[in-house]
Amino acid sequence: MVKTNRILASVFILFATFTFLWSFRFPEGSIFWPRLFSIVLILLAIGLIIDTFKNPNREDASEASITGYEFKILALITGTIIIYMFLLNIVGFSILTIFLIGGLLWYLGYRYLKKVMLISIISSVVITIIFQFLLNVPLPQGVFQNFL
């Protein structure tokens, strides 16, 4: 696992460096977040390298293999998110996010329908408010583009 951690940390450092350098092409108002996340990613990758050198055998003792059931859950959630990404511009962020969060909560065993609906709707509204109004990031409206 030591070799894997070093390779992974190196890939993260390269990716973050590329992202940081690429951000110089952005307009002045759009450079803060990419640069901040790039710096944070570099620091975390350096932390992974340091931690790997300090404790090289930590992960060997606790390594567990993934079961077939866990792989099925992971594959289903990954597939659902990929479908979500393809439908995002067609259906729209707000509506599709309600169904995504509600469906994932239901699939993962949370069976209180009223709470699932409430959590889904509130989450979608809060995310929309944060990104669209506070951060001024436009979200795909899909079929409701002409209504909003």
CB 103 within 8 A of CB 117: no
Return the pLDDT at 31: 86
The distance of Cα 126 from the centroid of its chain, to the nearest Å, equals: 16
Locus of tokens 């929309």: 128
Enter the tokens of residue 133: 């109004």
Listing DSSP states for 54-72 in one string gives H-TTHHHHH--PPPHHHHH
Tell me how far apart the alpha carbons of residues 124 and 91 are, in angstroms, rounded to a whole number: 14
Note the pTM of the prediction, 2 decimals: 0.62
Tell me how far apart the alpha carbons of residues 5 and 9 are, in angstroms, rounded to a whole number: 6
pLDDT tens-digit series, residues 114-148: 999 999 999 999 999 998 888 888 888 887 776 65
Using DSSP, state whether 135 is helix, strand or coil. coil
Return the pLDDT at 101: 95
Average pLDDT over residues 3-12: 89
The domain ranges of the chain are 2-62, 68-144
pLDDT tens-digit series, residues 67-106: 888 889 989 999 999 999 999 989 999 999 999 999 999 9
Tell me how far apart the alpha carbons of residues 15 and 6 are, in angstroms, rounded to a whole number: 14
Tell me how far apart the alpha carbons of residues 80 and 24 are, in angstroms, rounded to a whole number: 34
Tell me how far apart the alpha carbons of residues 14 and 70 are, in angstroms, rounded to a whole number: 31
